[in-house]
Chains A and B, each alone.
Chain A
Amino acid sequence: MTDAAELRRRTQELLAAHPPATTGRLDFLRARFDAGLAWVHYPEGLGGLGAPRSLQAVVDAGLEAAGAPDNEPRRIGIGLGMAAPTILKYGTEEQKQRFLRPLWTGEEVWCQLFSEPGAGSDLAALGTRAVREGDDWVVNGQKVWTSSAHLARWAILIARTDPDVPKHAGITYFLCDMTDPGVEVRPLRQITGEAEFNEVFLTGVRIPDSRRLGEVGDGWRVAQTTLNNERVAIGGMRLPREGGMIGPIAKTWRERPELRTHDLHQRLLKLWVDAEVSRFTAERLRQQLVAGQPGPEGAGMKLAFARLNQEISGLEVELRGEEGLLYDDWTMRRPEQVNFTGRDAGYRYLRSKGNSIEGGTSEVLLNIVAERVLGLPAEPRTDKDVAWKDLAR
């Protein structure tokens, strides 16, 4: 059993053998992976030691104190949070050996080819086709809302391999090479002016069968691992008081007394309370996870944060009065990472509109809470026993 003391010892060993001051960034990250200290809950040989996930903090603290470089987790979030756990669970030994190390070190960035123009909330209705030709699958279709596609070397992809069975049954999961000549990435400009996301057009893309993840037709089940890990990632953060969107508006309120009105004051205090209570809820959820008793509370966190971000940023635009009529910059850019609180109130207001759509709309999440947490009857399903090719579209 690998305990905290053992991890501390191994961390010091790594630091002694590869002093961060004299070791190249990538060399250090590779050595860290090979020492099993990348993600300690992963198996040995794949960057981990089979230790409890909660002990990762011990390693991170030791490395941070020594000034070691990290793998810029924000830049490679899709790889770390979504592709990796799915490859770990469903990948062949060969796939795990090939993909996990450069994924974790950030040498290879990953993106996610799931959503389509015709398959948003109803993701299982997706229409991108993959047809078997010899040892390859030939893929044709269009994906949308793909962040990092222009930076990515690899993609996790779900595509339709059998249109003659009901929609959930005819999907297969692939690992797609983004440098394939049939992959075209176009920036998708959004209401903020920039293009954080992309459209990805797949035309005759050939994927060898060895890059299929899981069984043919089992892609929906494989994708659940990806999507469940997306939601886990949202619940894990620990914020200080005023750590979220409420921070900038509280600062403005304190520094700019001339902007204050009684109406704004009442609304600000209400949102401050809501933000603080949400922080308690997130902390309670974190404590439940640490205690090994995960509750259903996580299902609600995304809903709560979407609403809070939207209301707080909306109030902040109003608070700014004349300045609220301005916008910092409409220039079309393709940012590498998104900082929700980094720009002006107007940007935050517009960007947070996406918070109730991306990663599951608030309406779908409310259904999930009602059905899975409260046990209320499911929505009537008219598509369950219908072949995908016969669905209304």
Chain B
Amino acid sequence: MSDLLYSEEEEALRAAVRDLLTDHCDTTSVLARAESDAPHDPALWKTLADGMGLAGLLVPEDRGGQGATHREAAVVLEELGRAVAPVPYLTSAVVATEALLACADGGDLLEGLASGRVIGALAVGLHTAPGAAYATVRADGGTLHGELTGIADAAVADVLLVPADDGGLYAVTADAVTVTPQTSLDLTRPLARVTLDAAPGRRVGDAEPAVRRALRAGAGLLASEQLGLADWALTETVRYLKDRKQFNRPVGGFQALKHRLAQLWLEIVNLRAAARAAADALATGEDTDVSVTVAQAYAAPVAVRAAEEALQLHGGIGMTWEHPVHLRLKRAKADSIAYGTAGAHREALAELVDLRAP
């Protein structure tokens, strides 16, 4: 069975990313950015991707990457989820990168993404589950026509990977399309509408296998982001409830609240095992479909509940714009739809493990 622990190297990687985020990704600045026209943090991305070399974890060394695995990328995502860092790591360094890894051409682009100097976005709606249908644009004599919505992090993408109706996946540079931000529930992973009006595209491979592979990796590693987020919610809430006093005692001493937090801890312990199993399965290629599906069927409700419990147990302060919990609630709720809902993954699981519908 898969290795579900964290290696020493993985723990060192976690510590490095956490240090960086502690110094450069505090709530006040994330919130200030979220309200501006530029919610993403390019300086943070440059340090993570270029400085620390984390954008190329999934890319083999001979193709310009770091030659690491999904296990390390998962650890990075745990930390990014904890901080709700507004950087396109999941979308560019995981999803777009996986799409290109499935393509015959586009080696130059892959190298760009791996270096972190080029940001890519797969132009498939964030809500799309692996294996589900997705919108395409019309390919007509080398140019592309159409409109795609719900594209996460498109606002900062240099290159869009666009599926077309001829079955191809096309690389289109951002300056050839119109990207219109959509007002998004998740302030730190905003969506955009991408309009292609005779946009020139370069066919890099077949869309179907590339999209499927990309979304599966996205779904599997999203569980680690959800884990980091849920762990933050529990840790912060426990810290606050030890400190907050009402009725002349710490609120965290009331059994009704202790039991809720203990229950949440149990679920996060489970989520950690499920997320590690999914990351390991993506890395080894063993039992991948079931492991990813199980992780996504489990992760979303836990992350959402962790954020909801954090808000409720913080009381009034949790309801304010200035308190960081709402950024997590919005991310957790959006994550529960991203790359397929828990229900969609359960439906897929029914086929995978032969527990068929009536």
Q: Is the CB of B252 within 8 A of A376?
A: yes
Q: Is B272 an interface residue when CB atoms closer than 8 A count as contact?
A: yes
- Give 1 or 0 for each of A213-239: 1 = CB within 8 Å of chain B CB: 000000000000000000000000000
A235-276, CB < 8 A from B: 250, 253-254, 257, 260-262, 265-266, 268-270, 272-274, 276
What residue of chain A has the Cβ atom nearest to residue B252's Cβ? A376
CB-defined contacts of A287 to chain B, threshold 8 Å: 3-5
B146-193, CB < 8 A from A: none
Chain A to chain B contacts (Cβ below 8 Å), 27 pairs: A253-B355, A254-B355, A257-B358, A262-B357, A265-B350, A269-B349, A269-B350, A272-B349, A273-B298, A276-B294, A277-B271, A277-B298, A280-B270, A281-B269, A283-B1, A283-B273, A284-B4, A284-B273, A304-B270, A366-B262, A369-B265, A369-B266, A370-B259, A370-B261, A371-B258, A374-B265, A376-B242
Residue from B234, B276, B294 having most chain A Cβ neighbours under 10 A: B294
Q: Identify which of B253, B277, B343 contacts A377 (C-beta below 8 A).
A: B253
CB-defined contacts of B272 to chain A, threshold 8 Å: 281, 284
Q: Is the CB of A303 within 8 A of B266?
A: yes
Q: Is the CB of A273 within 8 A of B266?
A: no
- Give 1 or 0 for each of A297-322: 1 = CB within 8 Å of chain B CB: 10010011000000000000000000
Q: Is the CB of B258 within 8 A of A376?
A: yes
B258-286, CB < 8 A from A: 258-259, 261-263, 265-266, 269-274, 276-277
Bound complex: CA A253 to CA B354 (Å) = 9
CB-defined contacts of A253 to chain B, threshold 8 Å: 355
What residue of chain B has the Cβ atom nearest to residue A274's Cβ? B298
Q: Is B48 an interface residue when CB atoms closer than 8 A count as contact?
A: no
Q: Identify which of A272, A288, A297, A367 contacts B355 (C-beta below 8 A).
A: A272
Q: Identify which of A262, A276, A283 contacts B4 (C-beta below 8 A).
A: A283
CB-defined contacts of A257 to chain B, threshold 8 Å: 356, 358
Q: Is A379 an interface residue when CB atoms closer than 8 A count as contact?
A: yes
Q: Is the CB of A278 within 8 A of B258?
A: no
Q: Is A325 an interface residue when CB atoms closer than 8 A count as contact?
A: no
Tell me how many residues of B have a C-beta within 8 Å of chain A.
Answer: 43
Bound complex: CA A268 to CA B347 (Å) = 11
CB-defined contacts of B3 to chain A, threshold 8 Å: 287
Q: Is the CB of B265 within 8 A of A269?
A: no
Do A291 and B5 contact each other (CB < 8 Å), given the known contacts A274-B298, A371-B258?
Answer: yes
Interface size class of A (residues with CB under 8 A): 35 or more
CB-defined contacts of A261 to chain B, threshold 8 Å: 358
How many contacting A-B pairs (Cβ < 8 A)? 122
What residue of chain A has the Cβ atom nearest to residue B4's Cβ? A284
Q: Identify which of A273, A297, A366 contacts B297 (C-beta below 8 A).
A: A273
Residue from A254, A276, A367 having most chain B Cβ neighbours under 10 A: A276
CB-defined contacts of A304 to chain B, threshold 8 Å: 266, 270
CB-defined contacts of B346 to chain A, threshold 8 Å: 266, 269-270, 273
Q: Identify which of A260, A277, A371, A377 contacts B358 (C-beta below 8 A).
A: A260
Q: How far is the CB of A315 from chain B (nearest CB, A)?
A: 12
What residue of chain B has the Cβ atom nearest to residue A300's Cβ? B266
Q: Is the CB of A373 within 8 A of B265?
A: yes
Q: Is B118 an interface residue when CB atoms closer than 8 A count as contact?
A: no
- Give 1 or 0 for each of B217-249: 1 = CB within 8 Å of chain A CB: 000000000000000001000100110000001
CB-defined contacts of B67 to chain A, threshold 8 Å: none
Q: Is A134 an interface residue when CB atoms closer than 8 A count as contact?
A: no
What residue of chain B has the Cβ atom nearest to residue A365's Cβ? B262
CB-defined contacts of A293 to chain B, threshold 8 Å: 5
Q: Is A375 an interface residue when CB atoms closer than 8 A count as contact?
A: yes
Q: Is the CB of B276 within 8 A of A284?
A: yes
Q: Is the CB of A280 within 8 A of B274?
A: yes
Q: Is the CB of B270 within 8 A of A278?
A: yes
Do A376 and B273 contact each other (CB < 8 Å), given the known contacts A265-B358, A277-B294, A277-B298?
Answer: no
CB-defined contacts of B269 to chain A, threshold 8 Å: 281, 297, 300
Q: How far is the CB of B198 from chain A (nearest CB, A)?
A: 46
Q: How far is the CB of A320 from chain B (nearest CB, A)?
A: 15
CB-defined contacts of A375 to chain B, threshold 8 Å: 238, 242
Bound complex: CA A268 to CA B265 (Å) = 24
What residue of chain A has the Cβ atom nearest to residue B275's Cβ? A280
Q: How far is the CB of A186 from chain B (nearest CB, A)?
A: 36
What residue of chain B has the Cβ atom nearest to residue A371's Cβ? B258
Q: How far is the CB of B239 from chain A (nearest CB, A)?
A: 9
Q: Identify which of A254, A274, A276, A291 contacts B354 (C-beta below 8 A).
A: A254
Bound complex: CA A343 to CA B242 (Å) = 46
Q: Is the CB of A377 within 8 A of B265?
A: no
Q: How far is the CB of B221 from chain A (nearest CB, A)?
A: 16
CB-defined contacts of A291 to chain B, threshold 8 Å: 5
Q: How far is the CB of A64 from chain B (nearest CB, A)?
A: 20
